A and B are shown apart, each in its own frame.
Chain A
Amino acid sequence: MAAKYEEVLKIEKLYFDYSDTSVLKDVNLTLYQGDFLGIIGSNGAGKSTLIKLILGKLPYYKGSISLFGTDIKKSFPRDKIGYVAQKANSFNTSFPATVKEVVMANLYSKKGLFKRYNKQDEERFYEVIRRVGMEGCENRLIGRLSGGQQQRVFIARALISEPKLLLMDEPTVGVDMQSVTEIMNLISELNRQGITIVMTNHDTPALVEVSSKLLIFCSHGNGEFVDRANLTMEQINQIYAGKRRHNHE
């Protein structure tokens, strides 16, 4: 990637253990504005752990994680980060909240304590709702929407704070097949609009197809950071199976 693009995420020599179990070993990667990183690997390989580490939820690790040029241990740029979790983990479906209430809540990262919403915030809300294709649903209870619609709302919630980096942990889990395709298309469109994406997904081929970079957690436990454009699907499968190593940088 050309140097004119802003460095968004840099991970160097990252190691992380859960109790005595080594989860991440020597993970290294650098992402620039507009990159789409797909993280692939088997269950328990450390995909979600890496997302949590980037979000600063797990403070004890070795190595360094920098966002927008600053180590996250020094400062966390929450106004530049959006996060979309698995739908099922996100909320209680009987909670009496409208789409508008849920999406507007995330303006907190921009506004801070005690600030009220203003006209610009309302305009921003309608813009992101249009962007995710949920016009007309503003005042509906979120628990009454379909799984795919609910996930679009959560993407809108992440977008309202105008993130430069969007982290997505299995965003299509619990969503019907038709909606999976629509959500993947939406995420690709957001990436084309300049948002850097880091995403895990259980559907590996679909994720590989939309990614520009891949972090492959292979059978020997290390994460291999590769440029998607330089590899065939067969080569990716070989790295995944631990039969081939690839040094990206």
Chain B
Amino acid sequence: MNNIFAYDFMIRAFIAAALIGIIAPCIGTTIVLKRLSAIGDATSHSALAGIAAGLMTGVHPVLGAVIFSMAAVLGIEAVRKSFKNYSEIATVIIMSTGIGLTAVLSGFVGNTADLNSFMFGSIVAISDFEMILTVGLSVAVIAVTMLLYRELFYIAFDEDAAELAGVPVKTVNIIIMLLTAITVSAASRIVGALMVSSLLVIPVACAMIIGKSYKSTMIISIVFAELFTVGGLFASFYLDVKPGGSIVLIGVAVLVMLLIFFRRR
């Protein structure tokens, strides 16, 4: 059997996966508990449009994903204001826009294999530049999450009370959205834009079954996300399957086992 760590591309993939395994649940915990899980989907589809635009214009695809997904989350906030009592409409409109743009722009992308690798993830394609970009974006997400830990908790638990206590709710909500956009973009290379939203949600769903506090839920969700991403890379390498698919399927399998085990108890 080949030694998985004998390859530089695998070392890069493991480092990137380890970082994504931290940042995805950091931001996932907040969006799941705020019942905004669908935003991950809308953002990832917009990120895919940014990737297609990047491949078309020569801008780095991950940077394209960052720009488009940030525009998407700001767009969700803008549309949400017009439909105050039906805020989920905003998510669907932006997701549809992302899918539509991807469909149109993909027609102008020369090498569709590149776009496919971003849709379903790839472990061989991570360049040094993407590695540095992933590290930079991950450090930014981890730093902001730690700095705003109390604010994120209070807003997720009770937004009205947080506002009354003086938490700058609107600003923090926009920061949450931008962090989601960055996380989705950073993870799109290895997990795949179509599956990245599940990495925001599944580890948190697993952690919510056994977590005994907000803090422990966040820590446990990071442990699960690391298990899924690293396990997914092993599966991808040895079984020759797409890493995004293996990461998500391991996550779903663990979630199902936890649900069965804890329901029996």
Residues of A that sit less than 8 Å from B by CB: 55, 57, 78, 81, 83, 85, 90-92, 94-98, 101-102, 105-106, 108-109, 112-114, 139, 141, 157, 161
Contact = CB atoms under 8 A, between A and B. Distances in A.
Interface of B: 33, 35, 147, 150-151, 153-154, 156-158, 160-162, 164-168, 208, 211-217
A141 B213 contact: yes
Contacts of A109: 164-166
Contacts of B158: 90-91, 105
A81 B164 CA distance: 9
A108 B165 contact: yes
Contacts of B217: 96
Given A57-B160, A96-B208, A139-B212, 5 more contacts: A94-B208, A96-B214, A98-B213, A105-B158, A108-B151
B182 to A, nearest CB: 20
Given A98-B214, A139-B212, A157 B161 contact: yes
A98 B212 contact: yes
A105 B157 contact: yes
* Interface secondary structure of B, over-half rule: helix
30 contacts: A57-B160, A78-B164, A78-B166, A83-B161, A85-B160, A90-B158, A91-B158, A95-B33, A95-B156, A95-B214, A96-B33, A96-B211, A96-B212, A96-B214, A96-B216, A96-B217, A97-B157, A98-B214, A102-B157, A105-B153, A105-B154, A106-B154, A106-B165, A108-B150, A109-B164, A112-B166, A113-B168, A139-B213, A141-B212, A141-B213
Contacts of B150: 105, 108
A101 B211 CA distance: 14
Contacts of A105: 150, 153-154, 157-158, 161-162, 165
A101 B216 CA distance: 11
Given A95-B33, A108-B150, A161 B165 contact: yes
Most chain A CB atoms below 10 A, which of B154, B157, B164, B216: B164
Contacts of A106: 154, 161, 165
A97 B214 contact: yes
Contact of A96 (B147, B151, B165, B213): B213
B212 to A, nearest CB: 7
B154 A108 contact: yes
A114 B125 CA distance: 38
Contacts of B156: 95
Contacts of A114: 147
A97 B165 contact: no
B213 A55 contact: no
A108 B167 contact: yes
Closest 3 CB pairs of A and B: A109-B165, A108-B165, A105-B154
A85 B157 CA distance: 14
A112 B153 CA distance: 14
A108 B162 contact: yes
Contacts of B166: 78, 108-109, 112
Nearest to A94: B208
A83 B161 CA distance: 8
Contact of A55 (B33, B164, B208): B164
A75 to B, nearest CB: 12
Contacts of A112: 166
B2 to A, nearest CB: 41
A91 B154 CA distance: 11
